[in-house]
Amino acid sequence: MGSSCCKDGDKYDQKYETKSVAKSEQMLDQSYNGVEIIVKKAEILREKAEAIVLGTDLYLLNQNSFSQTDEEREAIKKVYEQYKGMNDNEQQQLGNATEKVVNYGEAVETNIQLKNNQNIKCIISVSLPLWRGGNKQELKYLQEGIKNALLNGGKFESLAFTDIASGIFGFPKQEVAEILTNQIKLYLDQQGGQSQLKKIYVVLRDDSTILQFEREIKKMIGIYQKDQDNESWTNSQIRTYQQDLIKPIGKKQNSMDNVDQALKEQNEVKAQLIEGQV
């Protein structure tokens, strides 16, 4: 079952309030097979991309997702309403979203106009399961979903991804970064000459996730050097990454009892990151 139909959704929304990124900041801009790949700290619904990719559940709803902003929830709702209206028979069967609309790993393409961003012409919704330890084919569904999103998005000149599978779905961020990057590489290797894509954006909200995606994209392009991790990490980013490591899924984040001690351990964390242990 998907993740949206939760009676306690409003409580989660209040407890895990999603903060918007006030100012867009470009973190990485590289080219691969003639396509510009840009990593940004920003809000995906404010990007100039023609198509954006969002994670959703079997019902294309996610109205109670505490990992999404109000704008994203509204966009997903519009996707569902438009998709539902395409087929009258299906609309009758769906009723109040008691029947699933799509299967895991599918990517549903919906033309849409957003009030605050006229650049976005299409939302591609990737249907994902909740993470249950990796034993329920979760990574396979994520891989299929990203592959299908790229195939659907290939007719646009610009396509924007975000971290579609962590947050409410609970996927480990490192696995998401690796799968997204690998699928982008595979797509550009196989379809690059036939695709209309000129830019692929990876739009993220927090420093720790950005660093993971940056590293994987640099590996893909062939410019990654291990010492870059050591040079680029600030004390603030180390602290953020450590907090993410100890944060349990679906529960309130543990506090760092001793920030000074945490900062003393930053070299150990960086060493583990460089060696690929975390």
In 10 A of CB 87, how many CB atoms?
A: 11
151 has a pLDDT exceeding 90: yes
Q: Which amino acid, 195?
A: S
Lowest-pLDDT choice from 130-144, 161-175, 240-254: 240-254
From the number of C-beta atoms within 10 Å of its C-beta (0-12, 13-18, 19+), residue 16 rates as: middle
Greatest CA separation for the chain:
62
Q: How many CA atoms lie within 13 A of 3 on its CB side?
A: 25
Lowest-pLDDT choice from 40-49, 182-191, 212-221, 225-234: 225-234
In the beta sheet, which residues pair with residue 203? 40
Query: CB neighbours of 152 closer than 8 A, spacing ≥ 6?
Result: 51, 107, 109, 124
| DSSP letter string, 15-39 | HTPPPPPSS-EEEEEEEETTEEEEE
Rounded average pLDDT over 197-222: 92
For the chain, what is the mean pLDDT?
72
pLDDT of residue 14: 29
Rounded average pLDDT over 260-274: 48
Q: Give percent of the chain above pLDDT 90.
A: 38
Angle, CA of 103, 203 and 158, to the nearest 5°: 80
Confidence band for 168, pLDDT divided at 50, 70 and 90: confident
Which one, of 75, 269, 46, 54, lies nearest residue 149 by Cα? 54
More confident residue, 123 or 239: 123
Q: Residues 20, 45: contact at Cβ < 8 Å?
A: no
- Beta-strand runs (E) in 42-132: 51-56, 107-111, 122-127
Right CATH for 9-223 from 3.30.1360.10, 3.30.450.20, 3.40.220.10, 3.40.50.1000: 3.40.220.10
- Beta-strand runs (E) in 104-198: 107-111, 122-127, 158-161
Over residues 123-133, the pLDDT tens digits come to 898 999 999 99
Q: What gap in Å lies between CA 126 and CA 103, rounded to an integer?
A: 9
Please report, for the chain, the start and end positions of each structural domain, with discontinuous segments joined by +. 9-223, 225-278
Query: CB neighbours of 79 closer than 8 A, spacing ≥ 6?
Result: 56, 60, 108, 110, 112, 123, 125
Q: Residues 110, 80: contact at Cβ < 8 Å?
A: no
In the numeric block, the tokens 């599918």 are attached to 106
Over residues 51-74, the pLDDT tens digits come to 999 888 876 654 334 345 566 556
Q: What gap in Å lies between CA 41 and CA 167, rounded to an integer?
A: 16
